[in-house]
Amino acid sequence: MYNRFFKKLIRFSLDRPWMIIGLLLLAVVGAVFQYPKMKVDTDPENMLREDEFVRVFHHQVKKEFGLYDFVVLGVVNEEDPNGVFNVETLNKIYHITEGIKKIDGVITREIIAPSTKDNIRQGQIGEVIFEWLMAGPIKTKEEALRIRDEAMDNPLFYGTMVSEDGKAICIYVPIKAKNISYKVSQQIKKIISKYPGKEKYYITGLPVAEDTFGVEMFKQMAISAPLAAIIIFTLMFIFFRSFQLILSPMIMAIATVLITMGLLIGLGYPVHIMSSMIPIFLMPIAVLNSVHILSEFFDKYQKIKDKKETVLAVMDELFVPMLYASFTTIVGFFSLSFSPIPPVQVFGVFVAIGVFISWLLSLTFIPAYISLMPDSRLTNFGSRETEEAKGFLKWVGMLSFQQKYVVILAAVGLTIVSILGIMRIKVNDNPVKWFTKKHEIRIADEVLNRHFGGTYIAYLVLDAGKKDAFIEPDMLNYISGLQEFLQKKGIVGKSSSLADVVKKIYYDLLGGDKRYFRIPSSKQGVAQCLISFENSHKPDDLWHFTNPDYTKLNVWIQLKRGDNQDMSRVIKAVDEYFKAHKPPMNFTYNWAGLTYINMVWQDKMVIGMLKNFLGSYVIVLFMMIYLFRSSIRAWISMLPLTITILFIYGLLGWTGKEYNMPVAVLSALTLGLSIDFAIHFMQRARAMYGRLGNWQEVLIGMFGSPARAIGRNALVIAIGFLPLLAAPLVPYKTVGFFMFAIMAASSVITLLLLPAIIAVFPSMVFEDRETPIFCSLAERLLLAFSIAFAVGYLLMGYLHFGLQRTVFVSILIAVGVFLFEQIISFGRWCREA
Amino acid sequence: MKRWFLFLVAFGIFSLFAIKGFSLTADEVMKKAYHVQNYLADDERVHVEMKIIDSQGRTRNRVITMLRKDMDNEDKEQKYFVYFMEPPDVEGMTYMVWKHIGRDDDRWLYLPALDLVRRIAASDKRSSFVGSDFVYEDISGRNIDEDVHELVDETDTQYIVKCTPKKPDLVEFSYFKVYVDKKTFIPMKKEYFDKNGKLYRKLEVLESKEIQGFPTITKGQAVNLETGGRTEITFSNVEYNIGIPDDVFTERYLRRPPRKWLK
């Protein structure tokens, strides 16, 4: 594989360094010119394709029922005995509402606030009154208390606009588009700053959380990525003590990031929450290859004393492992392009491109750079280093093969514990939880959901396909029953429907007698209640709950938490109710609302990621089989990676952290990074065996420069990403923590487990047979198993076979392949020469 | 009959003045327009069809018969009786208004399915008229004393009057402009501007004709520029001076609609 072409390429880079550097500069400048075109997309809705049913339906529902995304402003007064229902606070709320009406992008007529809502109430005997809940500023305590009592008497207001404890009021600010919610929230903040006092103000809602995340994400990009770069740089300086030398991987890493992002922007892809993480992912990968080269260069230079010759010698040794290491990473990320989630596809493809660029640069730019370094700078370079093992690494090496059974047993134990942990994993996400607990959005979310029925809204839309279906009293009572059922289960904060509207009007028309808080007994009765309601200031409010021919119904469901798990519990409960109680009329139903959409894409992502991960696992496995010409060695090389991934996700399960978007994406990174170590270790060990011919010596040798390179890489990346732990955004913390854990686990597992296994079966790893792979019984068995594994994956993942059928077919394939191998193994090519 | 004749004469004279270039003051224009829109003849029966079309093009219909009777000759006290025919589920619903000047109107609603008569009170007259884009005040007529009038423009055919409410807190608009036809004094168009000065709703006369000598609006529409919805209203079978007795406009007829007068 290390053929003439690549040798020529490296030689060319060494001889014509300026050419390479000029080309690189050109590429970087070209890329940077694309940056002004950058489009930002922080809308998690785009995690689903635009034509995805849930999205299409969501928009249809929004249009049909006149619904908008809300910014929620909560006003809390804990000090006044009457809570927010005092003259001062209510007047502040009035003026704030008036101010909000003037904000650009706010749908003024749909604002939900005391002064924008019409109330129906009883007046004197036989009288009903339609009036604004709060027509204007008030003067007396009595007025304030009247507003409280009326709001508390209206099922559409309490738990939604006013809290049941009277301490808080929420203003729901509908906005034209989600992506202006951060801007709108900033303007609201400006307005409320004019009304200080005992009141506390909180801004929340999914759109704000999502949009704010986008804003802070870019701030983080500007802090985290450079900070990581600085730390990586410092660590490398400690290892190699040559500023000039370590400059090259840094330039390479930055150039890789700049070119990849430029390509992404230039091709018109928006920078999404996912793609904003590309630099953070590319940085360690780009550094990885160059650290291998530098580490080796460092160790070899004093022996060879000529920089060009040293580079060539280094490449001789490293080309194949680097090639495989890079291409397995590329495969790992490229597999994401089969994900059902467009931003994840883009992310995967561009990280893959970035890895390719960095691989290419490590073959061209690094040699070019080294050849430009003055020899004088290199005289003392690496003089302290030897290729031999010493100190701690040597001790680790001795431990690994002297205590091989202990190590293997420990690995088995770790695997079992990890699998138990994985079984405890909770798949869950909630964009509000992307902020740390102390972030104002998290605090607002916590406070407001303590006071109210919930700021997370989902819509349950029923379609009976028959005119006037939903003014039939039976249907309304049926829906009312559903709402009670959900409330009793304690899984929804509150729900509102046409049934509540009808009950409220009926009750007021009949003089405010609680006995009449029910649905009238005839369809005409319902219709006449509704037409009475239509005489109010806001008759259109009705069309948020049903459509004008009453064929459809929209039930508003408020949840106190936006977690997927909460949403799926509600869905299950609704299904359960519909199944257990026969509806008076048939209807179809579907869900809409941001809380629901989030659940859908997250569920999709989890399954999708698992599928992709297994897919790249299979591909990497076959690459290893090809690289090592042996399925036994391939499986051995896959072991550290497999255990690392199990360990990482097991850790997730044991620590109770939730499986969410960033965590899911990290599986691809783990695959790419951990296999690198195994490839370097196996490949170089085999190369060394070719020279030494004695596996004990090889293992000791391996704990010299190869292990050092692996250890350095692990340290650089693990520590380099620790500052992410200080980020105010949880996904960044998660990435930081995981980078650390992945690097630590995979390097330790690689360095301990591989030597232990080699020590147990040295010949399986080192002895190359002259005959093809299928001539050994063990290889035959394992190859048959590998093929069956791949086929099983395809059947289950893409042809949607059930588990039983898949296992059955896979066993058949395994047996078939094995028999075929068995037959051809009798052939001429397996007779030893 | 005599009063009606006198009115026609007065009308003719005013028209002559107008042609001769005698401009009217804003208050005079509005007074006439107010009369033409709400107080023609002594009483009136009209068949009203409303088509409410929302921004999505969905329509709802309202069909009612309306009786009106003036209680004085000063364009002040008035009584209305409204009988609902459509939508079918609300057929038989009745609605009665005693319009007063200077104090709240009395309003009653009868819901036959619940056999319930209720007095309706509202904090203002800006609530919707049975779910349409017309507000209560569009139908009953906004008392001209509530606004300050200003003649802002005059074309060959129209007076354009800007009306600014004396009590701005009671209404959702900051002012409205009325386009009054110089010949008939029908307010052909009303444009409402919100508190930010943006046009947000308008009422338009689409058709008018002379019935029994009275300039009568036969078709109009209310357009809500904010919601994108509109309501078309058609007046047919208009009859003036049919001699509706006072007792038709009492509570007992709410439950037993006066079929004779509703026809």
Please spell the DSSP secondary structure of B109-128, one letter per residue.
EEEGGGTEEEEEEESSS-SB
Looking at beta carbons, which pairs linking A95-103 to residues 24 or more positions away fall under 8 Å?
Answer: A95/A137, A95/A195, A96/A171, A96/A188, A96/A191, A96/A192, A96/A195, A97/A171, A99/A191, A99/A194, A100/A73, A100/A171, A100/A173, A100/A188, A100/A191, A101/B195, A102/B196, A103/A173, A103/A184, A103/A187, A103/A188
Contact list in A for residue B108 (CB cut-off 8 A) is: none
The residue type at A66: G
**pLDDT tens for residues A565-613?**
889 999 999 999 999 998 888 889 999 988 898 888 888 877 777 788 8
Rg (CA), chain B: 18
Total Cβ atoms within 10 A of residue A396: 17
CB–CB contact A539 B117 (8 Å) = no
- Quote the pLDDT of residue A382: 57
- Quote the pLDDT of residue A787: 87
- Quote the pLDDT of residue B224: 92
- Quote the pLDDT of residue A218: 75
Please enumerate in sequence order all residues whose Cβ is within 8 A of that of A544, keeping only pairs 6 or more positions apart, or say none: A65, A66, A67, A554, A556
Portion 546-565 of A in contact with B at CB < 8 A: 547-549
What is the chain B residue with the closest CA to A508? B118
Please spell the DSSP secondary structure of A343-402, one letter per residue.
HHHHHHHHHHHHHHHHHHHHHHHHHHHHHHS-HHHHTTTTTT--SS--HHHHHHHHHHHH
Q: What is the DSSP letter of B21?
A: T
Portion 477-536 of A in contact with B at CB < 8 A: 506, 509-510, 520, 522-529, 531-532, 534-536
What are the tokens at A319? 């080309």
- Quote the pLDDT of residue A260: 93
**pLDDT tens for residues A409-434?**
999 999 999 999 988 888 787 878 88
Tell me: pLDDT of A7 over 50.
yes
To the nearest whole Å, the CA of B172 is away from the closest chain A CA by 10
Q: Is B106 on the interface with A (CB under 8 A)?
A: no
- Quote the pLDDT of residue A572: 92
Total Cβ atoms within 10 A of residue A87: 17
Q: Check: CB of residue A292 under 8 Å from CB of residue A358.
A: no
Residue whose pair of structure tokens reads 């390179």 in the numeric block: A709
- Give me the phi and psi of B200, to 5 degrees please: -130, -15
Tell me: pLDDT of A752 over 80.
yes
Q: Check: CB of residue A320 under 8 Å from CB of residue A2.
A: yes
Q: What is the distance between the alpha carbons of residues B68 and B240, in angstroms, rounded to a whole number? A: 9
**pLDDT tens for residues A326-377?**
888 888 888 788 777 888 889 889 999 999 999 999 889 988 988 888 777 6
Please enumerate in sequence order all residues whose Cβ is within 8 A of that of A626, keeping only pairs 6 or more positions apart, or say none: none
**pLDDT tens for residues A434-449?**
888 888 888 988 888 8
Residue whose pair of structure tokens reads 């496995």 in the numeric block: A621
What is the chain A residue with the closest CA to B227? A109
Q: In the structure, what pLDDT confidence band is assigned to residue B3 with cuts at 50, 70 and 90?
A: low
Q: Which of B14, B8, B30 is nearest to B180 (CA)?
A: B30
Q: What is the distance between the alpha carbons of residues A809 and A46, in angstroms, rounded to a whole number? A: 37
What is the chain A residue with the closest CA to B123? A131
Distances (CA, A) of A652 to A294, A425, A657, B150: 34, 7, 5, 74
| H or E, element range at A244 | helix A243-266
Q: What is the distance between the alpha carbons of residues A436 and A725, in angstroms, rounded to a whole number? A: 11
What are the tokens at A124? 């004197």
- Quote the pLDDT of residue A122: 79
What are the tokens at A820? 């075929």
CB–CB contact B56 A63 (8 Å) = yes
Q: What is the mean pLDDT of chain A?
A: 84
CB–CB contact B112 A528 (8 Å) = yes
Portion 190-209 of B in contact with A at CB < 8 A: 195-196
Region A701-719 average pLDDT: 81
To the nearest whole Å, the CA of B165 is away from the closest chain A CA by 16
Q: What is the distance between the alpha carbons of residues A431 and A449, in angstroms, rounded to a whole number? A: 15
Cis peptide bond N-terminal to B168, omega within 30: no
Length of chain B in terms of residues written: 263
Q: What is the distance between the alpha carbons of residues B126 and A229, in angstroms, rounded to a whole number? A: 64
**pLDDT tens for residues A121-150?**
877 777 888 888 888 888 888 888 888 888
Q: Which of A706, A680, A688, A718 is nearest to A319 (CA)?
A: A680
- Give me the phi and psi of A101, to 5 degrees please: -60, -25
| Option in B60, B89, B126 nearest A537 (CB) | B126
Q: What is the distance between the alpha carbons of residues A279 and A354, in angstroms, rounded to a whole number? A: 9
Q: So where are chain B's domains?
A: 25-261
Tell me: pLDDT of A389 over 70.
no
What is the chain A residue with the closest CA to B59? A548
| H or E, element range at A153 | none
Q: Check: CB of residue A13 under 8 Å from CB of residue A330.
A: no
Q: In the structure, what pLDDT confidence band is assigned to residue B202 with cuts at 50, 70 and 90?
A: very high
Region B134-158 average pLDDT: 86
What are the tokens at B14? 């005013």
| Option in A528, A543, A547 nearest B93 (CB) | A528
- What global pTM score does this model have? 0.82
Q: In the structure, what pLDDT confidence band is assigned to residue A381 with cuts at 50, 70 and 90?
A: low
Range with lowest mean pLDDT among A695-699, A794-798, B155-159: A794-798
What are the tokens at A61? 């529902």
- Quote the pLDDT of residue A534: 86
CB–CB contact B119 A126 (8 Å) = yes
**pLDDT tens for residues A169-219?**
999 999 988 888 888 988 999 999 998 888 889 998 888 888 888 778 777
Tell me: pLDDT of A46 over 70.
yes
Q: What is the distance between the alpha carbons of residues A533 and A539, in angstroms, rounded to a whole number? A: 7
When mean pLDDT is compared over A62-66, A320-324, A691-695, the highest value belongs to A62-66
- Quote the pLDDT of residue B20: 45
Total Cβ atoms within 10 A of residue A16: 15
Q: In the structure, what pLDDT confidence band is assigned to residue A264 with cuts at 50, 70 and 90?
A: very high
β partners of residue B232: B51, B221
In terms of Cβ atoms closer than 10 Å to its own Cβ (0-12, 13-18, 19+), residue B61 is: exposed
- Quote the pLDDT of residue A807: 87
Q: Check: CB of residue A414 under 8 Å from CB of residue A643.
A: yes
Q: What is the distance between the alpha carbons of residues A52 and A71, in angstroms, rounded to a whole number? A: 25
How far out from the chain centre does Cα B28 lie?
Answer: 19
When mean pLDDT is compared over A382-386, A781-785, B110-114, B201-205, the highest value belongs to B201-205
Higher pLDDT, A442 or A666: A442
Region A240-249 average pLDDT: 79
Region B52-70 average pLDDT: 90
Distances (CA, A) of A671 to A115, A286, A651, A761, A793: 57, 16, 17, 25, 17
**pLDDT tens for residues A580-592?**
998 888 889 999 9
Region A759-773 average pLDDT: 75
| Option in A102, A136, A506 nearest B196 (CB) | A102
How far out from the chain centre does Cα A693 lie?
Answer: 47
CATH of domain B25-261: 2.50.20.10
The residue type at A31: A
Q: In the structure, what pLDDT confidence band is assigned to residue A799 with cuts at 50, 70 and 90?
A: confident
Q: What is the DSSP letter of A546?
A: B
Q: What is the distance between the alpha carbons of residues A161 and A188, in angstroms, rounded to a whole number? A: 17
Please enumerate in sequence order all residues whose Cβ is within 8 A of that of A802, keeping only pairs 6 or more positions apart, or say none: none
Which parts of A680-787 are beta strand (E)?
none
Burial B172-202 (b: 16+ CB within 10 A, else e): bbebbbbbbbbebbbbbbbbbbbeeeeebbb
| Option in A128, A527, A537 nearest B120 (CB) | A128
Please spell the DSSP secondary structure of A268-283, one letter per residue.
T--EETTGGGHHHHHH
- Quote the pLDDT of residue B4: 59
Sign of dihedral through CA atoms B233, B237, B240, B242? Answer: negative
